[in-house]
Amino acid sequence: MGLAKRIIPCLDVRNGRVVKGVNFVGIRDAGDPVEVAARYNREGADEITFLDITASSDDRDTIIHVVEAVASQVFIPLTVGGGIRKVEDIRRLLNAGADKIAINTAAIFNPDLIKEASDYFGSQCIVVAIDAKRVDNNADDSPRWEIFTHGGRKSTGIDAIEWSKKMADYGAGELLVTSMDRDGTKIGFDLELTRKISESVSIPIIASGGVGNLQHMAEGVLAGKADAVLAASIFHFSEYTIGETKQYMADQGIEMRL
């Protein structure tokens, strides 16, 4: 008995409001971030992740105010991702009350940002977000994944497993691994991907992309070897509460905070 596996609801935030939508189609307002975060906290969320999808860079400051407001009311860890480019962006979000910063594209174009940020702020607050997609198999028929950008449309040619090891070496404290093949499909995580990465690095892994039911959440931990599972839509559309998700996983023998 010991450390619990974590359930992390992910909220998309645009112009200071939580929005819901599937693949950016039919996005609608889903409320005030403070209220939504407080509700997830009451339901037993172990952390909350905000993904800033504000389109215009002019409106970037709104996420700072969102983080300040949430961190004054909700006392569980907060991760913020989306559009983070430089050390100064990280500093401002941490000072506003974020506990961890998720960095995706900027790490690909400037891997030293991860070194610099983890050295300065500590590994514990630097999460590297990895969007991976299966590509043609290796000669020996084993699967291979590459890092993609632009919502899974552009390959970088970088091997996802090698990239994970490199980011861990550069000082990332955690990896948020999203399968671009599964994202939005509701057919479950790419368990082979998360397991391969989890077994390749010594830092914690968050599985993301593809959750459609509670069995998928449990599989992420049991077969995918993830330390935490992140989901958006199954919580937003009230298909399942966080409480029943955690109970289901505990019933599967997974250590949970109940």
Residue 46 annotated among the catalytic residues of the structure:
no
Catalytic residue among 12, 46, 52, 183: 12
Q: State yes or no: residue 6 binds another protein (CB under 8 A).
A: yes
Q: What is the footprint of another protein within residues 43-82 (CB under 8 A)?
A: 46, 71-73, 75-77
Using CB under 8 A, pick the residue from 35, 86, 87, 95 that binds another protein.
95
Type of residue at 102: A
- Whole-number Å distance between alpha carbons of 65 and 2: 36
Q: Which of 87, 124, 151, 169 binds another protein (CB under 8 A)?
A: 124
166's enclosing H/E stretch is helix 160-169
- Taking the C-alpha atoms of residue 124 and residue 111, their distance in angstroms, rounded to an integer, is 17
- For another protein, the binding residue among 52, 89, 99, 131 (CB under 8 A) is 99
Kind plus residue range of the DSSP H or E element containing 66: helix 61-71
Q: Which residues pair with 205 in a beta bridge?
A: 175
Contact between residue 24 and residue 61 where contact means Cβ atoms under 8 Å apart: no
Give 5 or 14: the residue with its C-beta nearer to another protein.
Answer: 5
Contact track, another protein, 21-50, x by CB under 8 A? --------------------x----x----
**CB nearer to another protein: pick between 66 and 108:** 66
Q: 155: how many CB neighbours lie within 10 A of its CB? A: 13
Instruction: Identify residues 142-171 at the interface with another protein (CB under 8 A).
Output: none
Is 243 near another protein (CB under 8 A)? Answer: no
Give the single-character DSSP code of 247. Answer: H
Nearer to another protein, 21 or 77 (CB): 77
Residue 78 CB, nearest distance to another protein (Å)? Answer: 9
44's tokens: 């037993």
Catalytic residue among 46, 52, 131, 190: 131
CB 81 within 8 Å of CB 52: yes
Phi and psi at residue 52, in whole multiples of 5°? -80, 115
By CB under 8 A, the residues from 183 to 222 that bind another protein are 199, 201-205
Amino acid at 257: R
Active site residue 131: yes
CA–CA distance, 191 with 177 (Å, rounded to integer): 11
* Residues catalogued as catalytic: 12, 131
- Kindly list the residues in this chain that would bind another protein in the complex (CB under 8 A): 1-6, 41, 46, 71-73, 75-77, 94-97, 99, 121-125, 173-174, 199, 201-205, 227-228, 257
